[in-house]
Amino acid sequence: DGGITQSPKYLFRKEGQNVTLSCEQNLNHDAMYWYRQDPGQGLRLIYYSQIVNDFQKGDIAEGYSVSREKKESFPLTVTSAQKNPTAFYLCASSIPDSYGYTFGSGTRLTVV
């Protein structure tokens, strides 16, 4: 079955450490996205990529970095520069300009 796989589901890290969240899709979608969700808030766009080897900052990119070396993969690194990294992170993909967005099941990151 086609879909998006995010791993791990739960992630604990010490303050000051970088951590990388995985996102893999087998839908052959060109566009991929990372969103952050905080309690009581909607999803906010961190980074997006419309094509391999290209990505753009979203609304809250500070303290995050991404890469898009393969169409299937769009990993997100939460760096030590991110002031409040504890959150739920969702990855999504789509065919550009379509209305078919597919989301992964998310990674809950807790920084202690």
Partner 1 sequence: AQKITQTQPGMFVQEKEAVTLDCTYDTSDPSYGLFWYKQPSSGEMIFLIYQGSYDQQNATEGRYSLNFQKARKSANLVISASQLGDSAMYFCAMRAPSNTGFQKLVFGTGTRLLVSP
Using the rule CB under 8 A, give the single segment among 14-22, 48-56, 60-68, 72-80 that binds partner 1.
48-56
- One of 83, 84, 97, 112 touching partner 1 (CB under 8 A): 97
Dist CA 90 CA 107 (whole Å): 7
Q: Pick the binder of partner 1 from 13, 27, 58, 61 (CB under 8 A).
A: 58
Smallest separation, CB 33 to partner 1 (Å)? 8
Q: Which of 13, 27, 50, 63 binds partner 1 (CB under 8 A)?
A: 50
Helices and strands, number each (H, E), in the chain: 0, 11
Task: Tokens for 74, please give them.
Answer: 């769009």
Q: Which of 65, 111, 76 is nearest to 4 (CA)?
A: 76
Question: Should residue 73 be labelled a site residue for partner 1 when binding is judged by CB under 8 A?
Answer: no
